[in-house]
Homo-oligomer: A and B are copies of this chain.
Amino acid sequence: MIPRKPIEECTVGIVGLGLMGGAIALALRKEKIVWEQGRLLACDIDAGVIGAALGEGVIDEGFTVPETMLGRCDVVFLCLNPSTLLRFMTQYMAAFRVGALLTDIAGIKGSIVAAMEQSLRDDLDFIPGHPMTGSEKGGFANAAHCNFHGKNYILTPLARNKPENLSFLKALIHRMGFSRVTETTGLDHDKKIAFTSELCHVIAAALIDCEPDTSITRFGGGSFEDLTRIAMLNVPMWTEIFLENRVELLARISRFEGSLSKLKGLIANEQREELETNLYAVRKRRAAMSG
């Protein structure tokens, strides 16, 4: 089986050379994982991006249409938005090399797991993944700002994934710099991410939405800046993620609203002791979360 050969002997392809695809390409080079000439390929619909990546020596060969490249790759990173990914898989299913190991980076996993369980070509092994990092500045030009070190990576394996491919991919993820790989189901991923990522982005957007005065930052002391950094969001991608995962996200927003309303009530009624008790509990839980 092809991916069992060491990564040093694999041809690796990246589909979509945006922020994350670019950052993965950079990590594979920088960490000397796919280092020798001729084995790091990428395709992107934007010829300018491919030209830049070739010019900087980040990739060895570039393509603006995927068929030829896919037929040569032992390992493929599919770095596309969720809906684009599903369309891409339908359109190019026949083009992948026999026995190739595929993985993606999309922020939604339940629908991708379900689609791949149903329609993946028998000889291919697709391990859905989600690198938990990013940047409020998107695109290949900002890929170098997307840091992998110390970051989380989630995998949501299919029932059919080969154990040796899973081990191979986990080792590769660690070599790229990620510190912790967590395996779970696609649905559990979507539940958790609705909280740690989507809800946080909605809160940041709401914070900006409720204050028209842009000179308010003269009164910023770090908290406001930290809470709203991610309000500089990639609008099409986040709109898609919010809507695709809306059931989980709406449940999380409601739970958050409940907690906010509770604290608001304690403040309104000047319940000093209960407020302190609640804030001490928050402090304790947050400390436990850091561990």
Interface residues of A (CB under 8 A from B): 132-134, 151-152, 154, 180, 182, 189, 192-193, 195-197, 199-212, 214, 216-224, 226-233, 235-236, 238-239, 242-243, 246, 249-250, 252-253, 255-264, 267-268, 270, 272, 275-276, 278-283, 285-291
Closest to A280 in B: B235
On whether the beta carbons of A239 and B134 are closer than 8 Å, the reply is no
Q: How far is the CA of A112 from the CA of B232 in the complex (A)?
A: 37
Residue contacts A-B, CB under 8 angstroms, 24 given? A132-B221, A134-B222, A152-B221, A196-B224, A200-B207, A200-B227, A202-B263, A202-B264, A204-B223, A206-B256, A207-B259, A208-B282, A209-B278, A210-B255, A212-B285, A217-B290, A223-B230, A226-B226, A226-B230, A228-B289, A233-B283, A243-B270, A243-B272, A243-B275
Contacts of A249 in B (CB 8 A): 267
**Contact between A229 and B226 (Cβ–Cβ < 8 Å)?**
yes
Chain A interface mostly helix, strand, loop or mixed?
helix
> Which residue of chain B has the shortest Cβ distance to A211 in the bound complex?
B195
Number of copies: 2
- With A205-B263, A206-B256: A272-B239 Cβ-Cβ less than 8 Å: yes
Known contacts A132-B221, A253-B264; 16 additional CB pairs below 8 A are: A133-B222, A180-B218, A189-B219, A195-B216, A195-B224, A200-B223, A200-B224, A203-B207, A205-B259, A205-B263, A206-B260, A206-B263, A209-B259, A232-B286, A249-B267, A250-B268
